[in-house]
């Protein structure tokens, strides 16, 4: 059954015209546009700001709607919401405030709130995949979509439900890629949820990839849940596995993790890190961290700072929180930019210290560097544990060289070629 949307105009003829256009778009996308006399799933209110009285009327109308229909989901657009969005953001049942620009985004918001209507394929769309051969690093996409609904992320709304590519198709593509590419990154939107015949399948896939010669395999971003001793044991038997683990953290404070709808505690995260290091003592463990999430207090942030020091990351990608339209977190009160900036700066300082420590740990050790490009006077490439390496002398793109790492330099380390291998 189609979802019902009621469009309410509180303003002038331009407002009316806009709503008429919107009605046509909604009908085209499978919604029923109904009058205010019928109960609807969504209400789009086009507000007016011509006078203070008009603004007040807009606020009152939205309050009345929420009382009349407790399940109503209200989208506020128009002049009053553009001039002063805050007056509507905290109103009950308001799911988003659009203003006078990006009205076409309404469809995205509605779809986000109405997963049943999302045009999400249930099966992996094989036709949009295909090997992109390179001489250096290629990507093997094994999965699409995500079911996790982290509060700050719009991906589940945009990309739909998780679906896994057939094992056979992944392996066939990997074999084609291996003919030219010296490294293959296994990737997906949430590849930790990859399944084979409906069961957890990333270990099965990696085990099979271990038999492919002439290339090496790296994993893209992972979630805590996929790290089991069994999985690590499979990876440790692969002759061509790159020991880098990008294990998504986002916050190291349990309260904030809960608010973010991330289903693990920091203690669990740390346990997984210990397991990884048991199997791969020199693994490069990298992560992503969001600072300044709306519910992150100063105390919470200090907990995060204290905890990330316990991990010893090789690198971190740190992002100040930013609101993504249509997500749960976009309806929370944002922290001031100055607070987010300061937290970012503090976290970056720890990141830099940890990164330098990891680089120094690798000083004088031997690695296989895949040469990727020339940067200024140096050739650059990455070790199997993902340390950016700067090389002198003549090199070639796509060649793997045996390198002894020297001192830290810029984003990585200087390297001395010991032996060259095609």
Structure tokens at 132: 């992109």
Q: How many CB atoms lie within 10 A of CB 400?
A: 19
Residue 150 interacting with ligand SF4 (CB under 6 A): yes
- Among 148, 158, 195, 282, indicate the residue that binds ligand SF4 (CB under 6 A): 148
Q: How far is the CB of 153 from ligand SF4 (least distance, A)?
A: 3
Nearer to ligand SF4, 93 or 158 (CB): 158
Q: Is residue 157 within 8 Å of residue 326, measured between CB atoms?
A: yes
Residue 149 interacting with ligand SF4 (CB under 6 A): yes
Residue 160 interacting with ligand SF4 (CB under 6 A): no
Residue listed under structure tokens 């720890």: 350
Q: How far is the CB of 164 from ligand SF4 (least distance, A)?
A: 14
- Among 155, 208, 212, 270, indicate the residue that binds ligand SF4 (CB under 6 A): 155
Q: How far is C-alpha 239 from the chain's CA centre?
A: 29
Structure tokens at 279: 């199997």
- Give the DSSP letter string of 78-116: EHHHHH-THHHHTSTTEEEEEETS-GGGHHHHHHHH-GG
Q: Is residue 145 within 8 Å of residue 161, measured between CB atoms?
A: yes
Beta strand residue intervals within 121-168, DSSP E: 137-144, 163-164
Interface with ligand SF4 by CB under 6 A: which range of 144-152, 357-365, 370-378, 386-394? Answer: 144-152
- Among 98, 106, 146, 289, indicate the residue that binds ligand SF4 (CB under 6 A): 146
Nearer to ligand SF4, 79 or 247 (CB): 247
Of 241, 230, 178, whose CA–CA distance to 206 is shortest?
A: 241
Residue 289 interacting with ligand SF4 (CB under 6 A): no
Nearer to ligand SF4, 75 or 222 (CB): 222
Interface with ligand SF4 by CB under 6 A: which range of 49-57, 152-160, 232-240, 312-320? Answer: 152-160
Nearer to ligand SF4, 155 or 204 (CB): 155
Size of the site for ligand SF4 (CB under 6 A): 9
Query: Which of the residues 172 through 231 are near ligand SF4 (CB under 6 A)?
Result: 189-190
Q: How far is the CB of 383 from ligand SF4 (least distance, A)?
A: 27
Rounded-to-integer distance, Cα 374 and Cα 396, Å:
9
Residue 256 interacting with ligand SF4 (CB under 6 A): no
Contacts for 183 with CB less than 8 Å, ≥ 6 apart:
136, 137, 138, 215, 216, 217, 218, 242, 370
Q: How far is the CB of 146 from ligand SF4 (least distance, A)?
A: 3
Structure tokens at 13: 């003829």
Q: What residue ranges bind ligand SF4 (CB under 6 A)?
A: 146, 148-150, 153, 155-156, 189-190
């Amino acid at each position: 059954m189609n979802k019902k949307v009621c469009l309410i105009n509180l303003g002038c003829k331009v407002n009316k015209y806009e709503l008429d256009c919107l009605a046509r778009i909604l009908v085209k996308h499978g919604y029923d546009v109904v009058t205010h006399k019928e109960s609807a799933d969504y209400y789009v209110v086009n507000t007016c700001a011509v006078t203070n009285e008009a603004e007040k009327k807009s606020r009152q109308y939205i309050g009345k709607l929420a009382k009349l229909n407790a399940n109503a989901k209200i989208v506020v657009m128009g002049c009053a919401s553009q001039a002063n969005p805050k007056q509507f953001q905290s109103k009950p049942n308001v799911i988003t405030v659009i203003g006078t620009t990006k009205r076409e985004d309404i469809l995205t918001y509605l779809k986000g709130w109405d997963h049943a209507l999302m045009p999400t394929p249930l099966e992996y769309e094989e036709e949009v995949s295909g090997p992109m051969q390179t001489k250096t690093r290629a990507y093997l996409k094994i999965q699409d979509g995500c079911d996790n609904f982290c509060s700050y992320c719009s991906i589940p709304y945009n990309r739909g439900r998780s679906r896994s590519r057939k094992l056979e198709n992944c392996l066939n593509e990997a074999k084609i890629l291996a003919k030219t590419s010296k490294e293959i990154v296994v990737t997906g939107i949430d590849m930790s949820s990859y399944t084979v015949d409906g069961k957890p399948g990333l270990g099965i896939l990696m085990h099979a990839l271990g038999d492919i010669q002439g290339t090496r395999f790296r994993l893209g971003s992972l979630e805590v849940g996929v790290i089991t001793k069994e999985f690590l044991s499979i990876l440790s038997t692969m002759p061509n596995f790159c020991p880098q683990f990008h294990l998504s953290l986002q916050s190291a404070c349990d309260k904030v993790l809960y608010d973010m709808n991330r289903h693990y505690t920091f203690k669990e995260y740390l346990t997984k890190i210990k397991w990884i290091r048991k199997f791969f003592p020199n693994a490069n463990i990298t992560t992503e961290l969001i600072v300044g999430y709306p519910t992150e207090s100063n105390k919470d942030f200090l907990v995060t700072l204290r905890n990330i020091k316990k991990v010893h990351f090789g690198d971190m990608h740190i992002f100040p929180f930013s609101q993504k339209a249509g997500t749960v977190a976009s309806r929370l009160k944002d922290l001031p930019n100055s607070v987010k900036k300061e937290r970012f700066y503090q976290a970056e300082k720890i990141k830099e210290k940890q990164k330098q420590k990891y680089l120094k740990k690798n000083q004088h050790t031997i690695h296989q560097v895949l040469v990727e490009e020339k940067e200024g006077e140096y050739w650059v490439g990455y070790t199997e544990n993902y340390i950016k390496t700067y090389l002198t002398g003549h090199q070639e793109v796509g060649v793997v060289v045996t390198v002894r790492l020297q001192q830290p330099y810029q984003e990585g380390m200087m390297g001395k070629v010991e032996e060259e291998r095609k």
